[in-house]
């Protein structure tokens, strides 16, 4: 048996289904790969719905401020203010970008990265808020320059979804997973395997938006929420899961395969 591997829509290459971890990691750096999969990625710039109202308000406020500067100050100050205004608008538009990413996955055991960012944790740990047993934790830290939309990492039924208030310490700190404001979503696959995804607010992030509803279905290509201004996402997987990422590696939400459930 063989799988098709696509990179930027070039001619597909045949790969054996049972590829080793080193080969899998090499392919994952391109964010276009599959094993019994076909993954297609598309990019298109648009503003996320969580940022549209904020951007409209910002445009209005900056317009009023620029009119005042124009009427009551020199041309030099007006020019400086225009530059600052442009930079602010570019930053917020970039932060709230919502790239269109589509994938097709024929192997339901693949776990897809729920967020853009950097892997900061890959380790066995005890998840004591829901499972109360040992799991493999994979954590992705998102800086203010990463896309902050979050996707479901796997398809299945949402059996638990809840929000918890908390602190806003640095999201890169291990204790942020238990002390910070956070939202927790538990997804059960068709074969009964459960994984937990936790959105965590950071020092700058002051709002976690969760779209998941208990009893609903989670699907690939569907967003599960949004975190504003720097944050982290934790994924808790069964102990026997095969993980394909290491600390320090970059991920692309709804594109990078981070693990495979062994069920």
Asked if 151 and 140 touch (Cβ cutoff 8 Å), the reply is no
- What gap in Å lies between CA 202 and CA 209, rounded to an integer? 13
Asked if 244 and 21 touch (Cβ cutoff 8 Å), the reply is yes
User: Exposed, middle or buried: residue 78 (CB in 10 Å: 0-12, 13-18, 19+)?
Assistant: middle
Provide the terminal-to-terminal Cα distance of the chain, rounded to the nearest Å.
20
Asked if 186 and 159 touch (Cβ cutoff 8 Å), the reply is yes
- What gap in Å lies between CA 37 and CA 110, rounded to an integer? 9
Tell me, yes or no, if 231 is annotated catalytic: yes
Active-site position among 3, 139, 231, 255: 231
- φ, ψ at 160 (rounded to 5°): -155, 135
Catalytically active residues are: 231
């Amino acid at each position: 048996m063989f799988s098709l591997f696509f990179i930027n829509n070039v001619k597909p290459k045949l790969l054996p289904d049972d590829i080793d971890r080193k080969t899998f990691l090499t392919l994952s750096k391109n964010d276009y790969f599959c094993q019994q999969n076909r993954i297609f990625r598309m990019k298109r710039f648009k503003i996320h719905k969580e940022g549209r109202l904020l951007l409209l308000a910002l445009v209005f406020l900056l317009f009023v401020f620029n009119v005042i500067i124009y009427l009551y100050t020199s041309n030099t100050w007006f020019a400086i203010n225009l530059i600052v205004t442009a930079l602010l608008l570019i930053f917020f538009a970039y932060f709230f970008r919502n790239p269109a990413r589509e994938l097709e996955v024929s192997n339901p055991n693949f776990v897809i990265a729920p967020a853009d960012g950097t892997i900061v944790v890959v380790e066995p740990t005890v998840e004591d808020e829901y499972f109360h047993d040992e799991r493999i934790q994979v954590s992705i830290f998102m800086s203010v320059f990463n896309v902050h939309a979050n996707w479901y990492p796997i398809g299945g039924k949402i059996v638990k979804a809840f929000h918890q208030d908390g602190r806003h310490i640095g999201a890169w700190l291990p204790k942020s997973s238990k002390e910070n404001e956070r939202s927790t979503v538990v997804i059960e696959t068709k074969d009964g395997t459960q994984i937990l995804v936790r959105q965590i607010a950071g020092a700058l992030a002051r709002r976690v938006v969760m779209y998941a509803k208990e009893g609903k279905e989670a699907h690939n290509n569907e967003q599960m929420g949004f975190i504003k201004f720097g944050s982290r996402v934790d994924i808790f997987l069964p102990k026997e899961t095969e993980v394909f990422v290491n600390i320090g590696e970059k991920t692309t939400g709804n594109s990078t395969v981070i693990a495979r459930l062994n069920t």
